[in-house]
Structure 1
């Protein structure tokens, strides 16, 4: 890659903190350190965000990515909607704001698919806003996977000290065991191994696999899911990836400490909170959500729309800047292969 990676950022929900985070991020010196960002969003909403945050930033409308100048102090904006600045009411999404939010995502995905950008970085969105806009999807991941026709994908939460990948995501806890199967776990471990090599430049990944039960089942005393489901999945994954170190099911109460101490590159977790609670303890302000398995690179902030503090110039842009840097890192590693 002769030039820094080209990143398409989406503004997120106009009624949430996404626009003000975008303004703050584009003002940061980090925004142009090894990357070339532009924003896909709404012109009036972003001008309002610049005023609210008080950052010295000029919103510069472009009609095509080739018109972007990637200059500090300037936000190159590719508009996809025509909202008024009064429509971004904190915590009050409408059909129009929801549609604008979704259009930012789909336009960015299409730009990445056609090769007009190297990665996309998505701002926070809200499920209610998606529903108002008539979307059949619950969030970013499902929408982007459908748009890119990805059949196998997973959510990784990533930071410098801890990376977690989730076998099951947004389902009731009582449903987790029913949804866990050895093939599903094997596929997730395999996807993690490939992604650590291809996207993060780790030649010989070390992957920890968390057990489902306390003490990883304690040899069957607290459940047999480890021996019945996870151990066979690990054995198959090891055969598929002999270059990787893949652990047996490890007690969930110690595996994350070992990972943060540098003994593993990622932890495969059986359910949402098993991975997200320790991750947010470590990376609450700089964590990144990245989707594995897509034909494009996508990262995102690891938080929501924060309707309660939206448009008050309170929210921190740290996670968004980290997401930009991780998108650029993955783009460089993919090109270097």
Structure 2
């Protein structure tokens, strides 16, 4: 699917849990016509749900286009693909089986279109895992779902803001299972994925990456656990030997407490809360969830369904806007880097094609004489 301009990119948006803040945030964001002009937004959801929220929020002037496929989407409008048939009710602010079903159907259809290259990027709104799992028992999160759909074994869940970029070695695991799921190869793979992502998706030529330790004081030389010395440090050394600028393991408390994080382009955390608690405290509503290492671009706002404020006109669309901006930026960076790579390959091919020359007849005879 070729595009001539950035504003012609088709960006899919899943509605998320229809009982949460997703529909409200989408409405608020696309009231700004400038956002509709940046791309062709395609909402996977339900026009009925959006009309309910328009009435609740008293938003009168809002137009959208109903389409059946992404190819029918119109520019400068919010397009809606109806993929939640027979939705009987919306329980604003309450988890429900129907809310989980709606979220599941929206994600399912969006991923199918992404796999058929009908979309250039995808922004997923938050879902309630318990409700979602009533319809997909294996669901752990959008990161894992997309990795499975695209057949990608290694990917990196990242949180991105102007202040920092944090990647996780383990994603949605109980804390008791984190240590036994760490290995030198796994950590090295995550470092490599972040290095490649920072170069290709964020145009950072020589990324400087920090790796956090697992235990308090990064194990204190084995007194508080052996993982830091026996697993994390060898992985860091392995990547340094491969030519990457990476250091660690750092004790996490001091790393964030004394602002050491400001010196690095990327940070590798061992588990979910180790990376996300400081990230959210520092980044506030300016964070975006990004799945690195995938052939397809997926971003998400850095918040949950927020049932407690759903439908109360309190939800802030800023993180969603930033997720959309990031998806477009990464698409542009990838396209530019791919173009540079192809141009370089073309130049190499031209330089290696030597012209064919024929030896003069006399030289050819002399050569034959000398070889006898």
Assess same fold via TM > 0.5. yes
CA, structure 1 residues 43+333, in 2 after alignment: closer, same or farther (shift >3 Å)? same
Offset at residue 51 of structure 1 (A): 2.6
Gaps of 5+ in 1: none
**2:78 maps to 1:75:** yes
**Which structure has the greater CA radius of gyration?**
2
CA distance in 2: counterparts of 1:6 and 1:328, whole angstroms? 10
Superposition CA RMSD, Å? 1.9
User: Contact 2:65/2:74 (CA < 8 Å) preserved in 1?
Assistant: no
Secondary structure of the 1:194 match is helix
Equivalent residue pairs, number: 331
In structure 1, the residue matched to 2:356 is: none
**2:114 maps to 1:109:** no
CA, structure 1 residues 33+202, in 2 after alignment: closer, same or farther (shift >3 Å)? farther
CA distance in 2: counterparts of 1:324 and 1:114, whole angstroms? 21
2:180 paired residue among 178, 181, 184: 178
2:28 paired residue among 15, 24, 31: 24
User: Contact 1:126/1:139 (CA < 8 Å) preserved in 2?
Assistant: no
User: Contact 1:299/1:326 (CA < 8 Å) preserved in 2?
Assistant: yes
Residue by residue over 1:20-41, the C-alpha shift from the partner in whole angstroms, topping out at 9 and shown as x without a partner, is 1111111135524643322111
User: Contact 2:23/2:49 (CA < 8 Å) preserved in 1?
Assistant: yes
CA distance in 2: counterparts of 1:259 and 1:319, whole angstroms? 25
**2:311 maps to 1:286:** no
**2:30 maps to 1:39:** no
CA, structure 1 residues 224+97, in 2 after alignment: closer, same or farther (shift >3 Å)? closer
In structure 2, the residue matched to 1:156 is: 158
CA, structure 1 residues 199+314, in 2 after alignment: closer, same or farther (shift >3 Å)? same
In structure 2, the residue matched to 1:124 is: 126
In structure 2, the residue matched to 1:233 is: 235
**2:82 maps to 1:61:** no
Gaps of 5+ in 2: 338-372
Residue by residue over 1:237-285, the C-alpha shift from the partner in whole angstroms, topping out at 9 and shown as x without a partner, is 2233x1x310121121232354553x11110001111101100001221
User: Contact 2:129/2:140 (CA < 8 Å) preserved in 1?
Assistant: yes
Larger relative contact order (Cα-Cα within 8 Å, sequence gap ≥ 6): 1
In structure 2, the residue matched to 1:214 is: 216
Q: How does 1:265-284 map to 2 (within 5 A)?
A: 265-284=265-284
In structure 1, the residue matched to 2:56 is: 52
Give the TM-score normalised by the residue count of structure 1: 0.91
User: Contact 1:118/1:297 (CA < 8 Å) preserved in 2?
Assistant: yes
**2:334 maps to 1:334:** yes
Offset at residue 97 of structure 1 (A): 3.3
Secondary structure of the 1:255 match is helix
User: Contact 2:53/2:311 (CA < 8 Å) preserved in 1?
Assistant: yes
In structure 2, the residue matched to 1:304 is: 304
